[in-house]
């Protein structure tokens, strides 16, 4: 099932909406978990944009979206690992208190 | 068809806002998982079923479970309030700029290309197969870097 040819604008609208919501969450939230989720929303918006442009310019956008999904999953795994260790050992879940990694 | 699209669009925007604004982390995870699943439906609608399956497996499956484990480990905590006028301004400015660019791009939409799985695999092997090697090194570097930072910190604590 595909949309009509005139509908690329709507997919870009989805991408831009996700990007704007993710930027708002990233700038306005204090919790590290919410910031990670906001970054994921931004990455998903970028992936929707890549897939929309792939319908116009060939398969490269889809392959880049594959790479972006794989790297974003890796980034989430590392970020959540750091979050869990910091929360368990130091009780920190807010980034402005996160200054004890300096050495 | 446009009605189907607008329903999907409304659900995506509502769940994205809910994932950011809800206080209870379990409900945040529920909204986030629904958002990731709906985005996979967009990929199916665009004619990329493999990308949609990848999204469902990696994001709606793996990442959502990782976030669930993180929430269960750190506990459900309420976050502190923060003044968010600047963030809202930046987000609105981004949206308006992107909207103008989207309208401009949408006016020049060409007929959709039919990209088969075979063509996708051919382009991948021809152009991007070599990219797997630096990406693998990047992944190992990220994981080792996180381990190095934590181990060094733990050594100092001891």
Question: Looking at residues A49-59, what average pLDDT do you find?
Answer: 87
**pLDDT (tens digit per residue) in B111-143:** 777 778 888 888 888 888 888 888 888 888 887
* pLDDT band of B81, cuts 50, 70, 90: low
Q: Using the beta-carbon criterion (under 8 Å), do B128 and A67 form an inter-chain contact?
A: yes
> Domain coordinates of chain A in residue numbers?
31-103
Chain centre distance of CA A85: 22
Q: Which of A16, A100, A103 sits opposite B95 (nearest CB)?
A: A16
Structure tokens at A77: 């795994």
- B1-77 — its CATH code? 1.20.120.1200
Q: Where are the domains of chain B?
A: 1-77, 115-158
Confidence check: pLDDT of B58 > 50: yes
pLDDT band for position A3 (50/70/90)? very low
Under a CB-based contact definition with an 8 Å cutoff, are residues B72 and B139 in contact? no
pLDDT at A93: 66
Neighbours of B131 (CB within 10 A): 13
Q: Does the structure show a pLDDT above 60 at A6?
A: no
ipTM of the complex: 0.85
Residues A67-93: b if buried by 16+ CB within 10 A, e if exposed: eebeebbbbbbbbbbbbbbbbeeeebb
Q: Which of B66, B105, B112 sits opposite A5 (nearest CB)?
A: B112
> For testing the chain A interface, which of B13, B91, B94, B101 should be mutated: the one with the most A CBs within 10 Å?
B91
**In angstroms, rounded to a whole number, what is the distance separating the alpha carbons of residues A1 and A18?**
23
pLDDT greater than 70 at residue B78? no
Interhelix angle B64-74/A32-57, rounded to 10 degrees, is 170
Q: Is A35 on the interface with B (CB under 8 A)?
A: no
């Amino acid at each position: 099932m595909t949309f009509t040819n005139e509908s690329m604008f709507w997919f870009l609208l989805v991408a831009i909406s996700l990007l704007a919501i993710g930027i708002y969450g990233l700038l306005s939230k204090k919790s590290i978990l919410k910031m990670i989720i906001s970054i994921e929303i931004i990455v998903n918006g970028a992936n929707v944009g890549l897939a929309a442009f792939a319908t116009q310019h060939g398969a490269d956008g889809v392959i880049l979206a594959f790479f972006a999904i794989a790297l974003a999953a890796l980034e989430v795994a590392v970020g959540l690992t750091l979050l869990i260790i910091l929360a368990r050992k130091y009780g920190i879940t807010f980034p402005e208190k996160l200054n004890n990694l300096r050495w | 068809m446009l009605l189907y699209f607008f329903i999907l669009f409304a659900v995506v925007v509502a769940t994205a806002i809910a994932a950011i604004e809800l206080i209870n982390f379990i409900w945040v995870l529920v909204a986030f998982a629904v958002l990731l699943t709906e985005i996979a439906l967009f990929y199916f609608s665009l004619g990329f079923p493999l990308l949609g399956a990848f999204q469902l497996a990696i994001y709606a499956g793996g990442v959502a479970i990782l976030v669930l484990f993180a929430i269960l480990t750190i506990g459900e905590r309420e976050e502190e309030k923060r003044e968010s006028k600047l963030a809202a301004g930046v987000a609105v400015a981004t949206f308006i700029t992107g909207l103008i660019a989207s309208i401009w791009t949408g006016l020049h939409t060409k007929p959709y290309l039919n990209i088969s799985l075979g063509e996708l695999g051919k382009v991948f092997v021809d152009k991007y197969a070599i990219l797997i090697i630096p990406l693998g090194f990047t992944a190992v570097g990220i994981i080792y870097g996180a381990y190095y930072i934590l181990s060094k910190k733990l050594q100092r604590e001891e």
